Amino acid sequence: MKIYLDMCSIQRPLDTKAQPRIAVEAEAILGVLTLCESAQVELMSSDTLVFELGRNPHPVRKEYALKVLAKASVFVPTDSDIEEYARKFQAEGMKPLDALHLASAVMAKADYFCTCDDRFLQRAKAADTGQTKVVSPLELITEVTQ
């Protein structure tokens, strides 16, 4: 089972856990990462994740995300097909970077694409993503532990 976590999902365990939702989502992501470490699921990385990580000015968050991406067993390089697919997602109202993340996951045939961004989640769920199921962290941990 292949899982693509966007950067906000990867970073969720470092967010302030004052709100119950954030605390629960953080635990869900940590649970997914534990499954990756035990090879029960495959984590995916991409040029888009590496690009977004490079723009992160926070050293602790950057180091953490690098460690997470190092667990990935699948790497998705951006090519013209992914860029074209991303343009279709942009036409549906997604931000360019979000569209590239989703296109990378879909073109690489991820089983799950996970994001914490509510607006992006709503738009991505409405898009045609083929076999890739778009989920929140809570939906993801529920799906992969059944």
pLDDT means per 10 residues in the chain (146 residues)? 97 95 97 94 97 95 96 97 97 97 98 97 96 97 92
C-beta separation of 52 from 58 below 8 A: no
Two tokens at 108? 């690489």
The full 3-state SS of the chain, as one line of letters, equals CEEEECHHHHHHHHCCCCCHHHHHHHHHHHHHHHHHHCCCCEEEEEHHHHHHHHCCCCHHHHHHHHHHHCCCCEEECCCHHHHHHHHHHHHCCCCHHHHHHHHHHHHCCCCEEECCCHHHHHHHHHCCCCCCEEECHHHHHHHHCC
Domain ranges of the chain: 2-144
pTM here is 0.96
Q: What is the pLDDT of residue 21?
A: 95
Q: What is the pLDDT of residue 111?
A: 98
Query: Any residues with CB less than 8 A from the CB of 71 and at least 6 apart, and which?
Result: 33, 36, 37, 43
Q: What is the pLDDT of residue 142?
A: 95
Q: What is the pLDDT of residue 146?
A: 82
Two tokens at 78? 């951006």
Two tokens at 53? 């990580």
Domain covering 2-144: architecture: 3-Layer(aba) Sandwich (3.40)
Beta-bridge partners for 46:
76
